[in-house]
Structures are given as C-alpha cells and as structure tokens.
Amino acid sequence: MTTAAKETAAVSASRRDLIKGLAMGAVALPSVGDTVRSAQGATPMPGDADTEAFLKLFEEAWRPLDPQLRLVLRLIYGGLKGLPPPAQIPPADLRRINAGLAFYFNAGAPPLPHVEERTIALPSGRARIRLYDPGIPAPAPTVLFFHGGGWVMGSLDTYDGFARQIARRSQLRCLSVEYALAPEHPFPAPLDDCIAAARWAASNASELGIDPRRIAAAGDSSGATLALAACLALRERGTPLLRGATLIYGAYSLDLDTASQRAFGSGAYFLGTAEMERYWKDFLPDQAAQKNPLAVPMLADLKGLPPLYVAACEFDPLLNDSQRLFERAKAAGVDCEFRLLKGMVHAAVSVMGWIDAMGPEVDRIGEFLRRVTRA
C-alpha cells in the first residue's frame, strides 16, 4: 500500500470511528457558537429531547438517503433548530452559520505538501486566493475552483476541505478563488471576479508554477453557475483559456417549478426552493440581469464550450437544472459527461469527509480534470 493510500485509509477509519461514536447518542449539531468551537477541535455534544422531536419531522424524507449522509444531516439540522427559515436570515448571519459548519465541511481533508494563500486585486477589490499543490512538478496543470453558497455565502475556509480533496484526487494544483458576494455585490460582480482571477492565474502562471495552457475550472452550486458563465464569457471574448469545467449541482435556470423543485424543494434536503428563490433575487435584483445568458446559463448558446462534467444529486431541487443543461450541451455538440450522485442531497461534496461513497465520485471528477488538462 502506498503512503497516500495508507493516509486515506487512516482518515477513513478515524472518520468511521467518529461517526460510530456520535451515532451511539441522540446527537444533534450544537448552536452556531458551539459549532465554531467544534471546528477548533471539540466534539459536538448530544442534543436534547426537543432536538430529537424536531429531527423526527425529517425522518421519512431522509429514509432513502445514504446512511452516512443521514447522520450528517441529523447533526447539521439539529443545530439549526429554532432558527428562522434560511430564506429569512440576513446575509451576515447566513455567513456566520456557514462558517460555523467548518467542522463538518472540512472533515477528512487530506494533508498536502504545499498550501499558499495570497491576496490579489479583482474588480470588486482585494480578494484572497489559495493555491493547493499535491506535490506535482511545475509547470503543473491546474483547476480553478469557485465555491458555492448561493452567491451570498461561502469562503476559502469553508471550502478548504473540498479544495484539498480536488487537488489530492485529481493530482492537479487547485487555485481556490474568493469572489464578491451578493446582495452587496450582485451580478455581474461575482462573475467579473472569477473571470479576472482566471486571467490573473494565466498571467502569473510561471510564478505560481502552473501551466497557462492547462487550466480547467470547477465549482459547486452557485460556483458551478459561475464556472459555466466564465467559460461562456471567455468564449465570447475570444480568450477560451479554460480547457474544461466540472459543474457540480449548479443553478442554471430561474424556473423554480420543475419536477425536482416540487419533489425535493421543501427544505428537508439541505437546499429548499424558498432559499433558491431568495438567492436568485439577491444575485439578480434587476430584470435586465435575469435575461442575461451569463447570469442564467440556460438562456445561452452552448456551442463551442470546452468539455463539461455535469454532476447532480438524486435528492436535489436543482436536479432538473443539471439534466437539462447536459441535454442542451450534448445537442450543441459539447463533449459532456453526466453523473448522478445517488442517495445524495445538495452540498454532498461539502460533507464528503463523512461519506465513504463520495470518495469514488470525486475520483471521477479528478479523472475528468486530468483528461481535459492533459498536455
């Protein structure tokens, strides 16, 4: 067994032991403040009878899900008991809650030989980027990663675990980008930042140790929307520097009355239709933006895009968005793969450190990224 395989096995074993220990009690996620302390090293404490009664509201909806995912949802939802619905929570509070979930989002994150953070100038101002190097020689193929969070929340820190997983499993360098957030910075500010970050990476390739001819993009949720929009914008501007894009359960249409929204949009599956409506309004506050193909990619002509890997979760209100995007991309002649993550909900990649079945899925993403960035 290789050293990397031994490390992965050890992480999986320790994670399984932790899950087993948590499952022995009626465990629920603590308050947001306690969760922040958990992220610093403490283990969540068991919940009370009220928490158990609250969680029973979701038991039937969660029954078909992956068993390990069900436990993680119990932990997360237990900590949200007593809070207003997400669609009613102010952006600053949403960001604090999101940051407080780092214990869950970054579980099982693999160590890497080199991680480097910088602050760069983007159209919205100064922003952080973080380069993850799995130990491959320069000039290295690289994936630009745009985090999710409904364009309203998310950061390099809450997505540190997944960025490490992408770098380790793809054996590419990963450059994670922090972009301007809505509603303070609605469209096109987040997209402009992502495009500028892609151009900055190509212009500073030698300093970063990356190959400017072998750059791909990846994103989840709103980050997938931005990754696809960046491909569209760079194609339109005659600078298609991205060799491909991995799009994980993105939002590509304003249609909130799809079959998957009706089936999975109640809020039991991490993302609800009400939250999605709120996120779109924060991102696109004016009607002109709502008709812009770079804001709503389902409106775009997809011809001439680089290869796409479209991943969707079985129990996600955005499932139909990914299915429709894949069908349109294939019809437009795009080299496109579709992967359904069975038994999973929106944000499954964020908690992949708790779910054994997600490792092979991210390995598939890594294989795609290696293929499209091959010399």
Residues marked as catalytic: 221, 316, 346
78 bridge partner residues: none
b/e 11-26 (16+ beta carbons within 10 angstroms → b): beeebeeebeebeeee
DSSP 8-state symbol, 47: -
Q: Is the separation of the CB atoms in 219 and 227 below 8 Å? A: yes
Nearest of 328, 316, 231 to residue 270 by alpha carbon: 316
Q: Which two tokens mark 362?
A: 């991210």
How far apart, in whole angstroms, are the C-alpha atoms of residue 191 and residue 294? Answer: 8
Distance of CA 335 to the CA centre of its chain: 22
Count of alpha carbons within 13 Å of 203, Cβ hemisphere only?
A: 8
Helices of type H across 81-159: 91-100, 102-105
HEC profile of 252-303: CCCCCCCHHHHHHCCCCCCCCHHHHHHHHHHHCCCHHHHCCCCCCHHHCCCC
Chain position carrying tokens 């992949």: 352
Residues 6+ apart with CB under 8 A from 375: 141, 211, 214
